[in-house]
Structure 1
Amino acid sequence: MNLQQMRYFVTVARLGNVTEAAKALHIAQPPLSRQIKQLEQELGVELFDRSGRRLHLTETGHLLLHRAEEILNLTDRTMCELSSNELGQEGILSLGVVTSMGLMVLPQLIAAFKEDYPKITYRLLIGETLRVIELLEKGIIEIAIVHLPVDEDSFESYKLPPERLALVYDAAVFPQLHGDYELPVGRLQGLPLLCHRRYKELMEQAAQKNGIQAQFFCLSDDSNSLIAWAKAGLGLAVIPESAEAIAQREGLACIRFADRSLMTTAAVVWARKHYHAPTTRNFISFIPQYFEQKKK
Structure 2
Amino acid sequence: MPPWTDAGAPELNGTVSGTASVDFVRPQLQNIEIRSRAGVLAPVLSKGITIRSLELFEAIVRLGSVVEAARACGLSLPAASQQISNLEMSLGVTLLDRSHRPLTPTPAGRLYLARVRDALGQLRRASAELAVPDVAHLTSLKLGMIDDFDIEITPDLVRALARNLENCKFSLSTRPSHQLLSLLAEGALDIGVAATPETAVAGTTQYTLLREPFVLVTPAGFRAGGSGADVLPQLPLLRYDRGQMLGRQIESYLARHRLCPPDRFEIDSNQSIMALVASGAGYSITTPLALIRAREFLSKVTISPLPLDPLSREIALYAREDLPGSIGSEMAASMRVIIRERLIAPMTGLAPWLDAEFRLIEA
Aligned residues: 195
In structure 2, relative to structure 1, the CA distance for the partners of 1:94 and 1:118 (3 Å cut) is closer
Q: Matches of 1:138 and 1:266 in 2, distance apart?
A: 20
Q: Aligned-pair distance for 1:213?
A: 4.4
Change (3 A) 1:221 1:292: closer
**Taking structure 1 as reference, are residues 237 and 111 closer, same or farther at Cα in structure 2, changes over 3 Å only?**
farther
- More helix by proportion, 1 or 2? 1
RMSD: 3.9
Q: In the TM superposition, what are the counterparts of 1:55-74 in structure 2 within 5 Å?
A: none
3-state secondary structure, aligned to 1:104: coil
> How far, CA to CA, are the matches of 1:268 and 1:104 in structure 2?
16
3-state DSSP of counterpart to 2:294: helix
Superposed, 1:94-133 pairs within 5 Å as 94-110=142-158, 117=164, 119=166, 122-133=170-181
Q: Does 1:269 align with 2:309?
A: no
| Alignment pair present for 1:202 and 2:253 | yes
Does 1:226 find its partner at 2:270? no
Q: Deviations over 1:209-231 (max 9, x none)?
A: xxx64445334555344335435
Give the aligned residue type for 1:94: K
Q: Rate the CA distance shift 1:131–1:87 in 2: closer, same or farther, 3 A.
A: closer
Give the alignment partner of residue 192 of structure 1, picking from 215, 224, 236.
Answer: 236
- CA displacement, residues 71-107 of structure 1 (integer Å, 9 cap, x when unaligned): xxxxxxxxxxxxxxx9744655322222212333444
Distance change in 2, residues 1:183/1:164 (3 Å):
farther
Deviation of residue 249 (structure 1)?
1.6
TM-score, normalised via structure 1 length? 0.51
Q: Cα distance 1:118–1:88, how it changes in 2: closer, same or farther (>3 A)?
A: closer
Q: What is the CA-CA distance between 1:284 and the residue it aligns to?
A: 0.5
Deviations 1:222-276 (A, max 9, x none): 534433543554322322112222222245424031556221211112344xx53
Structure 2 stretches lacking a partner, 5+ long: 1-133, 241-246, 341-359
The structure whose RCO (Cα within 8 Å, separation 6+) is larger is: 1
TM-score scaled by length of structure 2: 0.43
Q: Distance in 2 between matches of 1:229 and 1:103?
A: 21
Corresponding residue of 1:158: 207
Check the 8 A contact 1:189/1:214 in 2, yes or no: no
Identify the residue that residue 241 of structure 1 maps to in structure 2: 288
> Greater CA radius of gyration, 1 or 2?
2
Whether the 8 Å contact between 1:165 and 1:256 is mirrored in structure 2 is no
